Structure 1
């Protein structure tokens, strides 16, 4: 969420624009500098490897929206850097709420060799709905017609990020205080040595509910429009030959109407739903209550097979939740999914060498 409480917008604007002085983290990794993962042979004619993906909202708002966050953000960076040194860090991290300068520095200091960021403050929206949202806009809840920060999205990877695409949500697809951030969706395509195709990884942060300050009908419609635009973006940027992972802060906890709207546009497979089935073979290492554990969290991951490479979740666990994985350092826990990637051994020649190039240039 992006919550500003009752602070004067002029003060928040000054703080937000000051954060813009800190550039978004950006780091390129060449394919020749990448170590290959362990490959295994399964069923005689198939190979496999694993890919671990963490989605984590780091609560990276600066003063006066939040105070005292810098020390916790530094601890997040230190913990990830330590795990990398020990060889136990997630392969890929999908960050949300990277707004403040301290948040941007924390992601850079995590030590990942490849980093890309989502839509920035002035990124143009994609095709947006021209109809006004229900009700009336109000300046006191942040609907002022301009963005004071970027999307807050970033993807960090141990493997090369070979393509980056990004799109802000439409100008009439936000409600309340969320409109102060240029929320959107990004694609970070990664290439893993030995895997025949790249993997398309998407990250997003969608409109909040009560924290937005906007009436329920208004913030629900904004969320629905963002879900539709995210689906269109994925359709326009994803190659069906590649496996797909879509994660982030979807802001759908305890909201049947939001789930219903989102599901109209997405038929991707939900990790929580698959792993909640005892027959799935997925190792659940976190506490889930009830028959629909996906309704109890904002932080989700979806996936889909590629034509050549299959993908399935084999383990789910929490990070930064106050347990053995680390202290709680944000108002969200991290959600870590380990996937198995598998493919027929005789398709190894389908590797697309042209995908292993330097990433896109950083945003201004």
Structure 2
């Protein structure tokens, strides 16, 4: 502090400490996110899936060689060990996994994985407590990864929700479980959202041709569904192919969504299909669903102090794809 004599009064005044210069907020950066249910089910539930998972990794590697790989990949139904082969082949440095199998009531993990070219700062995940039918054998749930983007942070969420017919549960039971999971997803986002930080969300929501599922608690939804934004809002040009249908959010099990902390902080630019069999073999019973966004990440002054020399950011609950 600096003591200053005021000439007119002779009173000593305490001058405020100098204000450090404020860094400008990060500029908008384009980022692409692919969500893909890879049907990595174990034998004997599904056959030939080890080969398909390795082929998916090879295809992601081919996209990388062409400079067209997604920045972030959200996988669902990655239950098999060959997902590790997929990850290593794909070339992504950062790999985080979602809810693990805990207790004797679950036979598998949640099958959620996030692959990223952007450094992962931290992760958090939770299995859904509600489930129905065969879905109760897996720790289906939700995970959040905190990514470093151009000196700021952006959160990315991956989820897989209760199926309908595949669960072999009764329609009322499956719908009730899905509705409760929707409420759990909203509560998870409320717990972990950081004011001012963008959130990108994707996954297998299991809402195809099911408005009763899609519309549950819509008034409490903290996020905007990308296809709905593009169809109804000012983002019409971001629609592509089938996404331009009247209600594209009901034409697929898979969705992407976003939370924009300020107008224009997150803006979908384009929706694209991937792994849809057009340019090669169809490798899953789902198509990949990719969205390119313009994102202004939330600045974080701690980032400059969070790196380990020669390694990824700070000690967190994730592992790099190369095992470090």
TM-score range, shorter chain: 0.7 to 0.9
Determine the C-alpha separation between the residues in 1 that align with 2:123 and 2:222.
Answer: 23
Q: Is the 8 A contact 1:227 1:265 kept in 2?
A: no
Aligned partner of residue 159 in structure 2, secondary structure: strand
Aligned partner of residue 149 in structure 1, secondary structure: coil
Determine the C-alpha separation between the residues in 2 that align with 1:273 and 1:216.
Answer: 26
Per-residue CA distance 1:219-248 (angstroms, 9 max, x = gap): 111111111111111111110221011110
Equivalences for residues 89-238 of structure 1 within 5 A: 89-122=69-102, 146-170=105-129, 173-194=130-151, 197-238=152-193
Q: How many residues align?
A: 288
Q: Which residue of the other structure, out of 303, 308, 312, is the alignment partner of 2:267? A: 312
Aligned partner of residue 162 in structure 1, secondary structure: strand
Determine the C-alpha separation between the residues in 2 that align with 1:164 and 1:147.
Answer: 22
How far apart are 1:342 and its partner, in Å?
Answer: 3.6
- 1:331 partnered with 2:257: no
Q: Is the 8 A contact 1:164 1:359 kept in 2?
A: yes
- The structure with the largest alpha-carbon Rg is 2
Q: Is the 8 A contact 1:189 1:199 kept in 2?
A: yes
Q: Indicate the residue corresponding to 1:298 in structure 2.
A: 253
**Structure 2 unaligned blocks of 5 or more:** 1-24, 307-312, 320-324
Q: Which residue of the other structure, out of 60, 67, 71, is the alignment partner of 2:51? A: 71
Runs of 4+ aligned structure 1 residues displaced above 4 Å come to: none
How far apart are 1:351 and its partner, in Å?
Answer: 4.2
Q: For structure 1, which segment, 67-76 or 52-61, has the greater mean C-alpha deviation from structure 2 after superposition? A: 67-76
Aligned partner of residue 261 in structure 1, secondary structure: coil
TM value normalised by structure 1: 0.74
Determine the C-alpha separation between the residues in 2 that align with 1:217 and 1:211.
Answer: 14
Q: For structure 1, which segment, 177-186 or 261-270, has the greater mean C-alpha deviation from structure 2 after superposition? A: 261-270
Q: Which residue of the other structure, out of 337, 340, 346, is the alignment partner of 2:294? A: 340
Determine the C-alpha separation between the residues in 2 that align with 1:243 and 1:278.
Answer: 19
How far apart are 1:307 and its partner, in Å?
Answer: 5.0
Determine the C-alpha separation between the residues in 1 that align with 2:302 and 2:122.
Answer: 13
Aligned in 2, Cα 1:64/1:262: closer, same or farther, shift over 3 Å?
farther
Q: Indicate the residue corresponding to 1:260 in structure 2.
A: 215
Aligned in 2, Cα 1:259/1:361: closer, same or farther, shift over 3 Å?
closer
Structure 1 or 2: more strand by fraction: 2
Per-residue CA distance 1:75-107 (angstroms, 9 max, x = gap): 100010121222210000000000112234323
Q: Is the 8 A contact 2:231 2:244 kept in 1?
A: no
Q: Is the 8 A contact 1:242 1:309 kept in 2?
A: no
Q: Is the 8 A contact 2:154 2:198 kept in 1?
A: yes
